[in-house]
Amino acid sequence: MFDKAAQEREAMAKGGTLHVEILVYVIKVAVKMGDYQKCIQVGKQKLSFSDDVLQQRPKTLVICDWYECLAQAYE
């Protein structure tokens, strides 16, 4: 479900804050399901958007959530 939402958001505003937020949800689900490869794959995709997100919303916590999930995946 989150994958489909990410695709829809990407079609509307690739790299936008809402697109990146849904990617974080995809990462969180992947970690909970133990699919660390997917988490890392999506995490790398999101890395290219992080500067844009920080410019759009400088105080967003999305980046922190993303790093936390990636750290769990690498553990």
pTM to 2 decimals? 0.68
According to the model, what pLDDT value does residue 40 have? 85
Environment class of 55 (CB within 10 Å of its CB; exposed 0-12, middle 13-18, buried 19+):
exposed
Q: In the prediction, which pLDDT does 68 show?
A: 82
Q: Can you give the pLDDT at residue 62?
A: 72
Question: Given a cut of 70, is residue 6 above it in pLDDT?
Answer: no
**In the chain, where are the structural domains located?**
2-74
20-61 tens-digit pLDDT:
787 888 888 888 889 888 888 888 877 777 767 767 776 667
Burial (CB count <10 Å: 0-12, 13-18, 19+), residue 38 = middle
pLDDT reported for residue 59: 63
From 61, 59, 62, select the one nearest 15 (Cα to Cα): 62
